[in-house]
Amino acid sequence: MPEEKAGSGIERVGRGSCPGSFGELLQGVLPERGKFLVNCKIKNTSRVTLTLSAPRYSEQKEARFAESYRRYPKSYKVIRNICTDLGNHSDCYLEIESDIPVGKGLSSSTADMVACIQALASALSVVMKPDYVGRMLTEIEPNDGLQHEGTGIYRHTAGELIAQFPYIPPLKILGIDLGGTIDTVQFNQQAVEWSEPETRRYQDLLQEMQDALARQDIPAICRIATESARLWQKVNPKRELDDVLALVGETGALGVANTHSGTYLGLLYGEGRNDLDAVTGAVARRLPGKAARWFETVSCGSPSGQEQVHG
Structural domain boundaries in the chain: 3-155, 166-309
Q: List phi, psi (to 5°) of 51.
A: -120, 125
CA angle 305, 309, 310 (to 5 degrees): 155
In this predicted structure, what is the pLDDT of residue 163?
A: 97
Helix and strand tally (H, E) in the chain? Answer: 9, 11
In this predicted structure, what is the pLDDT of residue 307?
A: 40
In this predicted structure, what is the pLDDT of residue 308?
A: 42
Structural element, H or E, at residue 243: helix 241-251
Residue 144 · residue 153 · CB < 8 Å: no
Quote the pTM value. Answer: 0.89
Domain 166-309: homologous superfamily in CATH = GHMP kinase, C-terminal domain (3.30.70.890)
In this predicted structure, what is the pLDDT of residue 56?
A: 60
Residue ranges, the chain, pLDDT below 50 = 1-2, 4-9, 301-311
Residue 13 · residue 49 · CB < 8 Å: yes
User: Could you report the per-residue pLDDT of 102-156, keeping only the tens digit for each?
Assistant: 999 999 999 999 999 999 999 999 999 999 999 999 999 999 999 999 999 999 9
In this predicted structure, what is the pLDDT of residue 70?
A: 82
In this predicted structure, what is the pLDDT of residue 107?
A: 96
In this predicted structure, what is the pLDDT of residue 192?
A: 79
Q: Which CATH number fits domain 3-155: 3.40.630.30, 3.10.20.30, 3.30.930.10, 3.30.230.10?
A: 3.30.230.10
